[in-house]
Amino acid sequence: MLSQEFVSAAAIAASVLFILSLGGLSNQEKAKRAVWYGIVGMAVAILSTALGPRIGGFGWLIPMALIGAAVGVWLARKVEMTEMPQLVAALHSFVGLAAVFIGWNADMERTRVAAIKATGVSFDGLSAFATTLAHKTPAELTFLQVEVVLGLFIGAVTFTGSVVAFGKLAGKIGGKPHKLAGGHWLNGGAALLALILAIAYFNGAGFWTLFLIAALAFFIGWHLIMGIGGADMPVVVSMLNSYSGWAAAAIGFTLSNDLLIVTGALVGSSGAILSYIMCKAMNRNFVSVILGGFGTTQSEAAEIEGEQVAIDTGGVASALNDAENVIIVPGYGMAVAQAQNAVSDLVRKLRSAGKNVRFGIHPVAGRLPGHMNVLLAEARVPYDIVMEMDEINDDFAETDVVIVIGSNDIVNPAAQEDPGSPIAGMPVLKVWEAKQVFVCKRGQGTGYSGIENPLFFKENTRMLYGDARASIDALVPMID
């Protein structure tokens, strides 16, 4: 067993590694190293916790750790980048459910220790957590109860909310907002009832209050995320990331685990900041989104006139050969088709022909922040030609050809031109200002938000229908 001093030092080391990991992930060139910081930090955290003083039950602990590790390896090999958003949502649900179970268990241990104190039996042989409880003052035990309620409530909301987000991102649940009759009043009433039950719990009511608080929080999490539309799911994922962090921090206070407190605070604060940045990028009200669209109104989008005009790869290749400035805008469709390597080959061919080629990346392209950046880095696209929306948006008017690969909502001019559009006011890539726009798309379906895109009907836009990977592969040999 490790001494408490060694465990504390390991917690500090792991926290530093987590901070370095978060900081490095903001930069493509440092991202791979940052991932390793996180891996090493987590290994230090797990080992130092498992081998800490008065930690037992290795007959259960080791098999469970091995099973979890095996599942993790299997998921890492099986899950494609296209499925990362829903995987992240699913992993958030695990953190939330863990917080619920730990909250329930902590109260059971508190009750058991109180019973042992009343009988005057020795505390020898108790677990580290139970021994800690035995030496807490009444005021500290009251604070523990507050921690239990907070961790349990946040964890339960995170669990069901993440399950719904997973369903919507995976296409198993419809992307349109759905609320029960009463809408936000139901959420508010459930939260108020949970508060009343918490007060009853603080005043001596039994375990049943915690069970009902969890049930109410489960309902709130489900109803809250069901009421958020598919277009806002990227914000929801980062918001649930924040929730899972605060749930972990509450668990840390309950278990007197400094590492959990620090790690949870890091995840919670970074997730909240990311959610705010994404809301700003999508022109969404942060409070409105986290409350399930509270205060929003549904407007009617303007009708679109005209038709979508198709083009073949030969026509696109001819335009690319004549162009000097080319911008490529990737989206979720590129990820689905796993076309990033084909796109990388096209870029190398165009640059070798003397073309100025760059990428325009929207903050929420691919339904997950940084999704497209990771795919392009994986395909070895040079970092210096991958530009964020604010860096490149003013350059479209001077661009000869824009190739949109599997994007819809992030290049939708209705966001700026149609006040009645569900995405009105959302900052988008102004690809329609270019001389020619070619949209690589499987068919004539709508985007994830379920709304039509006027870009596809504009005079300077042509549709290259088909699988993105096959279409780009066919283009490469045609570039002079």
Name the CA dihedral angle for 464, 170, 266, 72, rounded to a multiple of 10 degrees: -110
In degrees, to the nearest 5, what angle opens at C-alpha 233 toward C-alphas 170 and 39? 75
Return phi, psi of residue 405, to 5°: -115, 100
Q: How far apart are CA 391 and CA 276, in angstroms?
A: 20
Q: How many residues does the chain have?
A: 480
Catalytic hit among 107, 232, 409, 418: 409
Please list, in sequence order, all residues whose beta carbon lies within 8 angstroms of the beta carbon of residue 468, skipping any fewer than 6 positions away.
333, 334, 336, 337, 339, 342, 405, 406, 440, 441, 442
Which helix (H) or strand (E) element contains residue 461?
strand 461-465
Buried b (16+ CB within 10 A) or exposed e, 139-149: eeeeebbebbb
Residue 115 Cα distances to 198, 205, 211, 254, angstroms:
22, 16, 21, 20
Q: Are 408 and 446 in contact (CB under 8 A)?
A: yes
- Is 384 assigned a catalytic role? no
Return phi, psi of residue 157, to 5°: -60, -45
Residues acting as catalytic residues: 409
